[in-house]
Amino acid sequence: MRGDPEIRRVVVSSLTLSGAVGVFALSFGVASVGAGASVWQTCALSLFVFTGASQFSAMSVIGTGGSMLAAYGGAVLLAIRNMVYGLALSPSARSLGKSLPHRLLAAQFVIDETTALALAESSPRFRKIAFWTTGIGLFSFWNLGTLIGALAGSAIDPQKFGLDIAFPAAFVAMLRPHLGTKLGRQTAMLGGALCLISISFVPVGVPILIAATAIVLGVRNGR
Amino acid sequence: MVGEMTTNLWPMVIALAASAYLLKMFGLVVLGSRRLPRIFDRCLALIPAALLSALVLKDTFSVGQSLVVDVRLAGFAVAVVATWRRAPLIVVVVLAASATAILRAI
């Protein structure tokens, strides 16, 4: 089994991705304490929320002076896609975990990367291997990276190191894959415009929620 | 930035952790193999595009409730270029932060 080159391929690609994402977690740790969270709160976000875009979004809103409710709202909207991923994975849910507790544990690992790598495999067996190796690998690296970043971040002045830009820079990088379609680009433009227009009139963080209404563009056309 | 004072963020952290888990669990375990209507699927898939774009602009062009253009614009520009050149996430962040820090220092 250990010598099976196919298994090796799946495991290597899962762990490579996990390592890369773990390095990215350093920037979440640093930015999160820079935005006002404690080291413990930052680590709790990575352990229990465990979905990068939502974590970044919540701390970005807090960092610019938004309320906890506004921070929560934007982060939850971004977390909805994990429900859609769960749906996409659910035909193979029984192979991901045989018992209900096993599947309930699997649920915590339903995020962009695990879904992408699991669905890239066609056989249930490899799907399971890809899901669990990516899930456990990424969870470990993500939390280790967060802890190191948070400890480092609490020791430095975030402004001096330009770390306030870590949030928008991370968002730019995370946005890119969503600009591949015309509909994605139109939605991003409308969302951005709604945010800029409303910034001066509503409390900090609320423009992010207003921007979410841009998804109505999806009602109209297909591609 | 409010780095000096650590507010009590625990209510948000806990509420967000619970909600994020329930959403994942709902899709994988509860809904099972049921399918969402296509229109629903399509709109939900657009959430990241709308929100991430808004977050980028908020963090680059605002301080509290006012719109401002400052040195962060340079960091943002570096992030856009690095992303377009397909740099890994962490490289994008490090380059943008370095550009911002250097411009602030001079």
Residue B37: pLDDT over 90: no
Alpha helical stretches, state H, chain A: 5-34, 39-44, 52-63, 68-89, 93-96, 100-108, 112-119, 124-153, 166-175, 182-198, 206-211, 217-220
Percentage, residues of chain B above pLDDT 70: 92
A87-111 mean pLDDT: 89
Q: What pLDDT was estimated at residue B4?
A: 45
CB contact under 8 A, A158 and B1: yes
Could you report the per-residue pLDDT of A167-197, keeping only the tens digit for each?
Answer: 999 999 999 999 999 999 999 999 999 999 9
Residue A106: pLDDT over 60: yes
Residue A49 is given by DSSP the state I
Residue A12: pLDDT over 80: yes
Nearest residue of chain A to residue B95 (CA atoms): A169
Average pLDDT, chain B: 89
The H helix count followed by the E strand count for chain B is: 5, 2
Domain residues of chain A, as ranges? 5-161, 180-223
Q: What pLDDT was estimated at residue B24?
A: 95
A91-116 mean pLDDT: 90
Work out the minimum CA distance from A12 to partner chain B, whole angstroms. 18
Domain residues of chain B, as ranges? 8-45, 52-106
Tell me the C-alpha distance between A195 and B54, whole Å: 5
Tell me the C-alpha distance between A114 and A137, whole Å: 10
B32 neighbourhood in chain A, CB within 8 Å: 90, 93
Q: Say which of A72, A162, A222 has its CB closest to residue B99.
A: A162
CB contact under 8 A, B72 and A208: no
Q: What pLDDT was estimated at residue A98?
A: 85
| B2 pLDDT tier (thresholds 50, 70, 90) | very low
Residue B106 is given by DSSP the state -
A175 neighbourhood in chain B, CB within 8 Å: 48-49, 52-53, 56
Q: What pLDDT was estimated at residue A221?
A: 61
Q: What pLDDT was estimated at residue B6?
A: 53
Q: What pLDDT was estimated at residue A156?
A: 87
Which range is least confidently modeled, A87-101, A104-118, B67-81? A87-101
Element at B94 (helix H, strand E): helix B89-105
Element at B18 (helix H, strand E): helix B10-25
B104 neighbourhood in chain A, CB within 8 Å: 159-160, 162
> A95: which 2 tokens?
């192979």
B46 neighbourhood in chain A, CB within 8 Å: 183-184, 187, 214-215, 217-218
CB contact under 8 A, B20 and A211: no
Residue A1: pLDDT over 60: no
Q: What pLDDT was estimated at residue A148?
A: 97
Q: What pLDDT was estimated at residue A6?
A: 84
CB A70 within 8 A of CB A181: no
- Strand pairing of B62-63 and B66-67? antiparallel
Work out the minimum CA distance from A3 to partner chain B, whole angstroms. 31
Tell me the C-alpha distance between A213 and A90, whole Å: 28
Q: What pLDDT was estimated at residue B36?
A: 78
Q: What pLDDT was estimated at residue A2?
A: 53
Task: Tell me the one-letter amino acid at B2.
Answer: V
DSSP lists the bridge partners of residue B63 as B66
CB A131 within 8 A of CB B28: no
Which range is least confidently modeled, A18-22, B6-10, B73-77? B6-10
CB A217 within 8 A of CB B49: no
CB contact under 8 A, B2 and A63: yes
Nearest residue of chain A to residue B79 (CA atoms): A169
Q: What pLDDT was estimated at residue A88?
A: 87
Q: What is the CA radius of gyration of chain B?
A: 19
Tell me the C-alpha distance between B40 and A112, whole Å: 19
pTM for this structure? 0.90
Average pLDDT, chain A: 92
